[in-house]
Amino acid sequence: MENYIAQAFGVLALIAMVLSYQQRTRYRLLMFQIAANLLLASNYYLIGAYTGCVMCLISMARSFVFSKSHTRWGKSRLWFYGFLSISVLAGALTWGNFYSIFALAATLLLTVALYSQDTKRMRLLLLFCPPLFFVYNFVNHSIGGMGSDIFCFISALIAVWRFDVRKAEKKEDRAKPDEISADETVNKI
């Protein structure tokens, strides 16, 4: 029964994580990340994947602080370096096996991505995190976590397409009618 409860937390985390990638603003993305990390931390704790659990708890605190980057205290680069350091220390203290490195690497990469003020760069960096967590979730038998990673990867791809690729294509299309080469002008005359 406990395994079903653990997996249910993973499925709920999946829903929150997918929704996070579809948010237009950095703040809303971070708020959905906090909810997803709380649910995943519960999932990891119940299945005995303690490195993942602690990484999610750190990620919750990190997302909260980074959501306050508009405040004086939230702007400090010390937070960025502090979260990187705490993650490495926590990863060492909760080390379960070789695969713990995947949860740690994903957390470090997420810290870099979420610290970024550039949402385009953030979305691109977020593409690399689900594959790392997928390996960790596969080894630890987190069904919800694996599903979350698959859907997050797909969701991140969709977000990159919606907000970055498609937007760039529209700008390019708008620029084309104004761009008439000298050869085209001569041919029209």
pLDDT tens, residue by residue, 41-77: 999 999 999 999 999 999 999 989 988 888 888 888 9
Q: Are 68 and 56 in contact (CB under 8 A)?
A: no
pTM of model > 0.85 = no
Other CB atoms within 10 Å distance of the CB of residue 109: 17
Name the band, by pLDDT with cuts 50, 70 and 90, for residue 183: low
Handedness of CA 104, 61, 11, 90 (dihedral sign): positive
Inform me whether the pLDDT recorded for 179 exceeds 80.
no
Total count of residues recorded for the chain: 189
Q: Are 148 and 106 in contact (CB under 8 A)?
A: no
Identify the CA nearest to 146 among candidates 124, 130, 127, 123.
Answer: 130
Inform me whether the pLDDT recorded for 182 exceeds 60.
no
The full set of domain ranges for the chain reads 2-188
pLDDT in tens, 157-169: 888 888 888 876 7
Identify the CA nearest to 54 among candidates 83, 21, 15.
Answer: 83
Please give the structure tokens belonging to residue 103: 């949860």
Please give the structure tokens belonging to residue 61: 């605190």
